[in-house]
């Protein structure tokens, strides 16, 4: 069944129960205009910004938006872009798009003006819904964006080149649009991270969305009494489909703006969150704050917090060891996935397998996995090769890109571009991105292995290893190191520490700098390669 039926069911069975909370502890709410439209009691204007909606209001908002789109001529298969920060309107708009039979197209909120235009044209969007933060970027190409396309603005003071969301939906019916949708209909387009140029458009059918939702609920046993804390951006498959476990369970979720350790722990405490998905930097920051004594566990109500899970990037085992020292009662899980597989979960560790920390896990619910060599042949267990996955969440294609589709989809298998190995117990371990492998003096070097080793150093907060050009070796390893707050570290100190590595794996360059990560927590290695190319090395210390 399409994932929209879970929303209809929740509105019918739990109409007055809270579905979503929007929370921004760092912002004071002084607005009055939008609260009555959500059927809410106006908050004290001096309280932190907080809104909530019930399942019935969520569903009614989705229905109004769907009926508005259909009234403006949007039909089944048309494309509707969404360019907004996380907010209470985001998910009702997304589900309104799905209920109309149109295809939802979430945009990365970090896109610049040209990337917005590129993605809008690549996905052939008929509508773009955007928020206040994006007026300037939309205005740059407004003339081209407006051609044959409806622009809808969500917020106060609507710009002249768009129409007001609030006015458009005001008089629309809150009843279901009754558009027949099957799992074989197209449901969403997500964009690749664009690390090798402009993003590719990833087309999914409704069956992918339903698979991701049901899998998330099953993997983490999300129940009616759980409250999920969602911090990452909803445009990303990871955040949205982790939230959809709450949709399937009919349970509450909190959309939190802010990633400071105190902000996260306060939200868990005040909103009684039981499931929290963190990115590695946020978990690291929480542990560092606890280590320094900036925060104390006993100052927060955390007894209901049962599960901490991490995804979107390799997780250092040392981080989980530290986490369990502070939170011994927590279940832990990690998820592997990519937008081409409808986000996280095609491989997952499983809460019962914490003894295998370091692995990405085993095939997820309804998924198959294999590891192959360059010729596409399965390798022997224990050998490194490319991870391939197969299941009901695999993308249909890269939209309007047959060549890239043919390279990635073969006989129903999705070739992930990630190098992995499988141990004797059947658990998969991520080695590195295929394109990130460093070939130095004929040796294949996997940066993740060096990064995991270096992160164990007491003074290192984060590290990224990249390959730099070398006349003799072809490539040499360089480690960009971010030192923990209040600490100092030298290249000689790290050189001595890395003596425990095989000689060919020891970094030949050390660069002390902050580690850039994107909105989903992944290290931006293409950016680092550009910054520290042959002519860009600064503040380095030679370790040769």
In a domain, 227, yes or no: no
What pLDDT, on the 0 to 100 scale, is given for residue 312? 65
pLDDT, one tens digit per residue, over 192-249 is 865 445 789 999 999 999 999 999 999 999 999 999 999 989 998 888 999 999 999 9
Chain mean pLDDT for the chain: 89
Residues 315, 462: Cα–Cα separation, whole Å: 12
What pLDDT, on the 0 to 100 scale, is given for residue 33? 39
Domain's final residue, options 204, 234, 266: 204
In a domain, 387, yes or no: no
For the cut 60, the answer to whether the pLDDT of residue 41 exceeds it is: no
How long is the chain? 544
What pLDDT, on the 0 to 100 scale, is given for residue 443? 67
pLDDT, one tens digit per residue, over 179-192 is 999 999 999 999 98
Name the residue with higher pLDDT: 449 or 290.
290
Please give the average per-residue pLDDT across 282-292, as a whole number.
91
Q: CATH number of the domain that 93 lies in?
A: 3.40.50.980
What DSSP string runs through 31-90?
A: --TTTGGGT-PPPPTTSEEEEEEEHHHHHHHHHHHHHHHHHTT--TT-EEEEE--S-TTH
What pLDDT, on the 0 to 100 scale, is given for residue 227? 98
**Any residues with CB less than 8 A from the CB of 369 and at least 6 apart, and which?**
346, 347, 362, 363, 387, 388, 389, 390, 428
Which residues span the domain enclosing 190? 53-204
| Per-residue b or e along 268-298, where b marks 16 or more CB atoms closer than 10 Å to that residue's CB | bbebbbbbbbbbbbbbbbbbbbbeeeebeee
Domain's final residue, options 204, 221, 251: 204
Please give the average per-residue pLDDT across 389-395, as a whole number.
97
Give me the residues paired with residue 512 across strands: 481
Q: CATH number of the domain that 468 lies in?
A: 3.30.300.30
Q: What percent of the chain has pLDDT over 90?
A: 67
In a domain, 520, yes or no: yes
**Any residues with CB less than 8 A from the CB of 88 and at least 6 apart, and which?**
20, 22, 38, 51, 52, 53, 255
pLDDT, one tens digit per residue, over 302-337 is 999 999 998 766 677 888 999 999 999 999 999 999
What pLDDT, on the 0 to 100 scale, is given for residue 208? 97
Phi, psi of 336, deg, nearest 5: -115, 140
In a domain, 134, yes or no: yes
Predicted confidence band at 36 (pLDDT cuts at 50, 70, 90)? Answer: very low
CA distances from 31 to 74, 82, 276 (A): 32, 23, 29
For the cut 50, the answer to whether the pLDDT of residue 534 exceeds it is: no
What pLDDT, on the 0 to 100 scale, is given for residue 32? 40
Looking at the 3D structure of the chain, how many domains does it have? Answer: 2
Q: Which of 1-15, 348-362, 446-460 tops mean pLDDT?
A: 1-15
In a domain, 365, yes or no: no
For the cut 50, the answer to whether the pLDDT of residue 45 exceeds it is: no
For the cut 80, the answer to whether the pLDDT of residue 251 exceeds it is: yes
Please give the average per-residue pLDDT across 470-492, as a whole number.
85
Domain's final residue, options 189, 204, 219: 204
Q: Let me know if 16 is exposed, middle or buried by CB neighbors in 10 A (0-12, 13-18, 19+).
A: exposed
Cβ 360 vs Cβ 420: under 8 Å: yes
Please give the average per-residue pLDDT across 61-75, as a whole number.
97
Cβ 426 vs Cβ 361: under 8 Å: no
Residues 494, 31: Cα–Cα separation, whole Å: 52
Of 368-372, 423-427, 520-524, the one with minimum mean pLDDT is 520-524
In a domain, 515, yes or no: yes
Give me the residues paired with residue 90 across strands: none
Phi, psi of 172, deg, nearest 5: -85, 150
**Other beta carbons within 10 Å of 317:** 15
Name the residue with higher pLDDT: 151 or 520.
151
What pLDDT, on the 0 to 100 scale, is given for residue 419? 85
Within a 13 Å sphere around the CA of 89, how many CA atoms are in the beta-carbon half? 20
Residues 257, 131: Cα–Cα separation, whole Å: 15
Cβ 276 vs Cβ 242: under 8 Å: no
What pLDDT, on the 0 to 100 scale, is given for residue 28? 56
Q: Let me know if 26 is exposed, middle or buried by CB neighbors in 10 A (0-12, 13-18, 19+).
A: exposed
In a domain, 3, yes or no: no
In a domain, 138, yes or no: yes
Closest CA to 155 of 211, 89, 219: 89
Check: pTM over 0.75? Answer yes or no: yes
């Amino acid at each position: 069944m399409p994932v929209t039926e879970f929303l209809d069911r929740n509105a019918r069975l739990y109409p007055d129960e809270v579905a979503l909370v929007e929370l921004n502890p760092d912002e004071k709410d002084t607005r009055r205009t939008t609260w009555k439209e959500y059927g809410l009691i106006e908050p004290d204007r001096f309280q932190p910004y907080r809104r909530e909606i019930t399942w019935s209001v969520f569903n009614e908002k989705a229905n109004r938006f769907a009926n508005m789109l259909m009234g403006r001529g949007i039909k089944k298969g048309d494309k509707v872009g969404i360019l907004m920060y996380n907010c209470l309107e985001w998910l009702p708009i997304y589900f309104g798009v799905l209920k109309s039979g149109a295809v939802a197209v979430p945009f990365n909120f970090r896109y610049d003006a040209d990337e917005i235009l590129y993605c809008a044209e690549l996905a052939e969007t008929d509508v773009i819904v955007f928020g206040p933060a994006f007026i300037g970027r939309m205005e740059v190409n407004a003339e081209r964006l407006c051609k044959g396309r409806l622009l809808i603005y969500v917020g106060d003071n609507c710009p002249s080149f768009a129409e007001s969301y609030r006015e458009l939906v005001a008089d629309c019916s809150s009843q279901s649009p009754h558009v027949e949708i099957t799992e074989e209909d197209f449901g969403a387009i997500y964009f690749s991270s664009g690390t090798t140029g402009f993003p590719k458009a990833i087309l999914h059918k409704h069956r992918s969305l339903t698979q991701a939702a049901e899998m998330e609920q099953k993997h983490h046993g999300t129940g009616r009494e759980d409250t999920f804390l969602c911090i990452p951006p909803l445009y990303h498959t990871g955040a949205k489909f982790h939230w959809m476990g709450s949709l399937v369970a009919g349970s509450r979720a909190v959309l939190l703006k802010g990633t400071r350790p105190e902000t996260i722990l306060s939200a868990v405490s005040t909103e009684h969150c039981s499931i929290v998905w963190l990115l590695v930097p946020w978990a690291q920051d929480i542990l560092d704050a606890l280590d320094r004594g900036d925060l104390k566990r006993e100052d927060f109500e955390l007894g209901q917090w049962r599960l901490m899970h991490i995804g979107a990037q390799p997780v250092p085992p040392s981080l989980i060891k530290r986490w369990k020292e502070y939170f011994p009662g927590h279940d832990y899980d990690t998820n592997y996935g990519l937008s081409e597989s409808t986000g996280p979960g095609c491989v997952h560790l499983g809460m019962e397998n914490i003894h295998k920390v370091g692995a990405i896990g085993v095939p997820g619910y309804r998924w198959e996995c294999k590891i192959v060599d360059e010729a596409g042949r399965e390798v022997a267990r224990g050998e490194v090769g490319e991870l391939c996955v197969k299941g009901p969440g695999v993308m249909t294609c890269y939209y309007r890109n047959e060549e890239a589709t043919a390279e990635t989809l073969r006989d129903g298998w999705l070739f992930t571009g990630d190098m992995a190995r499988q141990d004797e117990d059947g658990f998969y371990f991520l080695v590195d991105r295929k394109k990130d492998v460093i070939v130095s003096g004929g040796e294949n070097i996997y940066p993740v292995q060096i990064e995991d080793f270096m992160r164990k150093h007491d003074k290192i907060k984060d590290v990224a290893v990249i390959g730099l050009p070398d006349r003799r070796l072809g490539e040499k390893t360089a480690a960009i190191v971010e030192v923990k707050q209040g600490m100092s570290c030298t290249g000689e100190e790290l050189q001595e520490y890395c003596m425990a590595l095989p000689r060919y794996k020891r970094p030949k360059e050390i660069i002390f700098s902050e580690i850039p990560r994107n909105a989903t927590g992944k290290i931006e290695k293409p950016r680092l390669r550009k910054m520290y190319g042959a002519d860009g090395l600064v503040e380095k210390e030679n370790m040769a």
